[in-house]
């Protein structure tokens, strides 16, 4: 079963707005997965907007199959928006 939190009250963000939350241009570190935007700022694994070979500020949906973890890793983070 694919659990997805309710998105009805979440703000919409463009890919350009997401790209600014890369840990470099703005202090926030955000990533997108399956249309949802997650705030990973507090994660020690996303320091400076980089997590192994992945960079924050982008949609990582297509990159998850290569990761050593499942999508349940996103359960640790707050959903703060929807990628439009």
79 in a structural domain: yes
CATH number at residue 20: 3.10.120.10
**pTM of the predicted structure, to 2 decimals:** 0.88
> So what's the pLDDT on residue 47?
87
Q: Which residues of 50-80 are buried (b: 16+ CB within 10 A; e: fewer)?
A: ebeebbbbbbbeeeeeeeeeeeebbeebebb
Mean pLDDT of 27-42: 97
Q: Is 48 helix (H, G, I), strand (E, B) or coil?
A: helix
Give the structural domain span for 54: 12-83
Q: Whole-angstrom Cα distance, residue 43 to residue 58?
A: 16
Q: Is residue 55 part of a domain?
A: yes
Q: What is the pLDDT of residue 1?
A: 46
The pLDDT of residue 4 is above 70: no
Question: What band does 5 get if pLDDT is binned at 50, 70 and 90?
Answer: low
Q: Is the pLDDT of residue 21 over 70?
A: yes
Looking at the structure of the chain, the number of domains it has is 1
CA neighbor of 44 nearest in space, from 29, 24, 65: 29
């Amino acid at each position: 079963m694919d659990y997805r939190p309710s998105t009805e009250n979440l703000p919409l963000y463009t890919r350009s707005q997401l790209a600014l939350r890369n840990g470099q241009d703005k202090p926030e570190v955000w990533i997108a997965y399956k249309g949802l935007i997650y705030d990973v700022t507090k994660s020690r694994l996303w320091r400076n907007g980089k997590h192994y070979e992945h960079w924050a500020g982008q949609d990582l949906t297509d990159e998850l199959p290569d990761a050593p973890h499942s999508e349940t890793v996103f359960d640790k983070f707050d959903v703060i928006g929807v990628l439009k």
